[in-house]
Amino acid sequence: MTDTIQTIHFEPRSTNFNRLKGRLEHQVGKAIADFNMIEEGDTVMVCLSGGKDSYTLLDVLLTLRKRAPIDFKIVAMNLDQKQPGFPADVLPNYLKTVGVPFHIETQDTYSIVKEKIPEGKTTCSLCSRLRRGIIYKVAGELGANKIALGHHRDDMVETLFLNIFFGGKLKAMPPKLVTDKGDHVVIRPLAYCAEKDIARYARGMEFPIIPCNLCGSQENLQRQNIKEMLTNWEREYPGRTQTIFTAMQNVKPSHLLDGGLFDFKSLKLGDKVDEGDIAFDD
Ligand code: SF4
């Protein structure tokens, strides 16, 4: 994912950096507790792409595990998709330094995608489908019951708008889900973390970031447009992304139009409706 956030470098251990670190740890701990993401005896496979989000996820989870009241295992995993120029030694070297068990899975999905998708067409959807299947398979082989992904608050808000604008659905990206086969639980512990905080943390920690454009494909154009829309809103109305995110945790089915979520047909005189007769309370 392209980092469009303005560069602000924090010296590790400066007061500002420690405050940022504390905030991220608090937000990850809260998401884990709010959604019961990690339980006693879990083995959590943390998927690392070499980008800022997954490095931050692994780093914060390792810190939180040290003081967690429960016992759980962490194993890091990277899928080397054989993209041209992928620096295969960067992640293993980092993970050895950190001292976390890890597995590098090498699968040439790059060639498959190039072969199947005509030149000029977006390759991301096939690529991510293949990646997802491999990730689930590797989790099974490693004995991991939880799969942790590095999506954050801004990814979730972008997905909400993608689904509204192009899917006609009020749906975002869940903090926790069970895979279709029912074998694993996927968790997103960075759900409450803002992308700009993660970007600052990753810079301060000087993680060895691997560029994300090695495959030569552009990130989904619609997602880029929505990112830009949110960035412009944020500039004009600071805090808007967080307000939208808060709204995603504060859904009022009685004031939407989905009869499957709220029984409008049976509504009768005398019934009390959440939020009353006010549609917009400013
Ligand atoms: S940007 Fe490249 S590596 Fe990422 S999902 Fe798209 S095709 Fe796959």
| Chain length of the chain | 282
The ranges assigned to domains in the chain are: 15-216
Specify the DSSP element, H or E, that contains 67.
Answer: helix 52-67
Is this structure's pTM higher than 0.75? yes
Distance CA 156, CA 6 (A): 21
The verdict on the CB of residue 214 being under 6 Å from ligand 1 is no
Residue 166, φ and ψ in degrees, nearest 5: -115, -15
Pocket test for ligand 1, best of 109, 112, 113, 123 (most atoms within 8 A of CB): 123
The verdict on the CB of residue 231 being under 6 Å from ligand 1 is no
15-216 CATH: 3.40.50.620
Q: Which atom of ligand 1 has the smallest separation from the CA of 219?
A: 1
Residue 46, φ and ψ in degrees, nearest 5: -95, 120
Residue 61 C-beta-side C-alpha neighbours within 13 Å: 31
The gap between the terminal CA atoms of the chain, to the nearest Å, is 36
pLDDT by position in tens, the chain (length 282): 333 344 455 556 799 999 999 999 999 999 999 999 999 999 999 999 999 999 999 999 999 999 999 999 999 999 999 988 899 999 999 999 999 999 999 999 999 998 998 887 778 888 889 999 999 999 999 999 999 999 999 999 999 999 999 999 999 999 999 999 999 999 999 999 999 999 999 999 999 999 877 777 766 788 889 999 999 999 999 999 999 999 999 999 999 999 999 999 999 999 988 888 888 876
Strand, coil or helix: 138: helix
